Structures are given as structure tokens and as C-alpha cells.
């Protein structure tokens, strides 16, 4: 019988979040009494199939050590200049004992639905290919600069979410090679696509928002309260 695949999560959290217009990194902003990062780690900690959760933060980060009650599976790794560099650092920190698969999740997505993550993992394992949570685009999309020049058909458009779930060696190799060739990498899937490997689209809830701007924080607070009410009922 084949052994159960090993899975480790990586949470890139070395960004400064300049668009939040806050005096510190956005992952440490308070949301309903906890930092955004605490909420995100609590969600991932509910995934019992994870062997470890690697949080990638800057070496000079003064806030991370102040987070209380971190799950025993959480470990720290050194962040890089860009998101892709941080994810790669997290991957390389596992090189001595690499997992079969890695689950990469944004630190600023504390509203992810655990059932969606379970679905992503199971569908990818079953298909033996990597994939991402994604939501079908609902709005009419325009292309243009200062004026609309074209309405873009949205039938096959998806909004990429996280987590994104790939085989360890596939993602490590793709990131290393793409970064060495100065390819622009916006998420893990873009590196896998560049390496011409499949990326499965797994539908996820559209309220899995990334907190990027100040107005996102108010929406996240509302959605978090809604989730707590649903879980309590």
C-alpha cells in the first residue's frame, strides 16, 4: 500500500503591505481581537493532514515573535525580496527532508474556508496534479487605460485564490528556473504554467478575500463575524 503523501504548508508573510497605508506590515493588523496572521494560521492549523506550517517572514521582523499560542507545527523561515523569493526560501528550508506536496497560502487571506482547502487537496491528489482554489469571474470585465476599449468575454475567466497546491519538486524547480531567467512570477501557479505543467482549477468561495486595502479590512471583519455565526449555529 502506498504511504500517505506528506503535505507541508508555506505562508509567505514577509511583505510590507504598502497599499494598506498602515504603520506596519498588514499581516499584523488587528482583526476582531487578533492579528490577520493569527487568524490565517488558526485556519491552517485546523488541517490535520499538514505535517508543518512554514511561516516565511523577514529576518528583521519585530512582530512575529509576539504572536501567542502558535500551533506546535508552525516553524519560521527567512523571507525574500519578493513573494516568489519568500516561497522559494520556504521550499529550500525543507530541502533536507522534502514533503511530497506543498500548500501555499497568503498570510492576508484569513477567511479561507477549510472545506474548500480539503476539496483542493483531495482533487489534486486524486488527479495527481497541482491546482489552485479559484472563483469564476462574475463581473463584466473591461480592457483599457483611461477609457474602455474592449469588453472581455468572461466565460473562461477565473480569479486566482489561495491556497495553491503543488508537488514539492515541481514547484521548487519551476520557481528556481523562472527566477533565474527573470520571469515575472505573480503566484505559484504562474511558475507552474511557465514550466508547462497542469494547474487544476478547483472552485472556492469568493469570500476568500485577500486583505490588501483599508476597505478590505472592514469587509473582512464583517465576513469573519458571519463565519463565526455560521460555525456556532
For the segment 79-113, what is each residue's pLDDT rounded down to a tens digit? Answer: 999 999 999 999 999 999 999 999 999 999 999 99
Query: pLDDT averaged over the chain?
Result: 93
Nearest to 44 by CA among 110, 135, 140: 110
Task: Work out the pLDDT band at 69, boundaries 50, 70, 90.
Answer: confident
Task: Work out the pLDDT band at 1, boundaries 50, 70, 90.
Answer: very low
Q: State what percent of residues in the chain have pLDDT above 70.
A: 95
Q: List the strands of the sheet with 7-12, edge to edge.
A: 74-78, 50-57, 7-12, 101-104, 158-167, 131-136, 200-203
CA 167/CA 186 separation, integer angstroms? 18
pLDDT at 116: 98
pLDDT at 2: 56
Segment 117-122 shows an average pLDDT of 98
pLDDT at 145: 94
pLDDT in tens, 181-211: 999 999 999 999 999 999 999 999 999 999 9
Q: Compute the half-sphere exposure of residue 1: CA atoms within 13 Å on the CB side of its CA.
A: 2
Segment 117-121 shows an average pLDDT of 98
pLDDT at 228: 81
Q: Is the Cβ–Cβ distance between 102 and 10 less than 8 Å?
A: yes
For residue 169, with 0-12 CB atoms within 10 Å meaning exposed, 13-18 middle and 19 or more buried, which class applies? middle
Q: Is the Cβ–Cβ distance between 211 and 26 less than 8 Å?
A: yes
The three cell numbers locating residue 168: 514539492
Under CATH, which number does the domain 7-232 receive?
A: 3.90.550.10
pLDDT in tens, 10-58: 999 997 655 555 567 889 999 999 999 999 999 999 999 999 999 999 9
Amino acid at each position: 500500500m502506498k504511504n500517505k503523501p506528506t503535505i507541508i504548508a508555506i505562508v509567505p508573510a514577509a511583505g510590507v503591505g504598502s497599499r494598506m497605508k498602515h504603520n506596519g506590515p498588514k499581516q499584523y493588523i488587528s482583526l476582531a481581537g487578533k492579528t490577520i496572521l493569527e487568524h490565517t494560521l488558526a485556519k491552517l492549523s485546523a488541517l490535520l493532514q499538514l505535517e508543518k506550517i512554514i511561516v516565511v517572514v523577514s529576518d528583521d521582523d519585530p512582530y512575529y515573535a509576539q504572536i501567542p499560542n502558535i500551533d506546535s507545527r508552525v516553524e519560521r523561515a527567512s523571507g525574500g525580496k519578493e513573494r516568489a523569493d519568500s516561497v522559494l526560501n520556504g521550499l529550500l528550508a525543507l530541502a533536507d527532508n522534502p514533503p511530497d506536496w506543498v500548500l501555499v497560502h497568503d498570510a492576508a487571506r484569513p477567511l479561507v474556508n477549510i472545506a474548500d482547502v480539503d476539496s483542493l487537496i483531495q482533487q489534486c491528489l486524486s488527479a495527481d496534479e497541482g491546482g489552485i482554489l479559484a472563483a469564476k469571474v462574475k463581473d463584466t470585465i473591461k480592457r483599457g487605460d483611461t477609457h474602455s476599449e474592449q469588453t472581455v468575454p468572461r466565460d473562461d475567466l477565473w480569479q486566482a485564490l489561495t491556497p495553491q497546491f503543488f508537488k514539492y519538486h515541481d514547484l521548487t524547480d519551476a520557481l528556481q528556473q523562472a527566477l533565474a531567467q527573470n520571469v515575472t512570477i505573480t503566484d505559484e501557479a504562474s511558475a507552474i504554467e511557465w514550466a508547462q505543467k497542469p494547474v487544476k482549477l478547483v472552485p472556492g468561495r469568493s469570500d476568500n478575500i485577500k486583505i490588501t486595502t483599508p476597505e478590505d479590512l472592514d469587509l473582512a471583519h464583517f465576513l469573519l463575524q458571519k463565519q463565526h455565526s455560521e460555525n456556532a449555529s
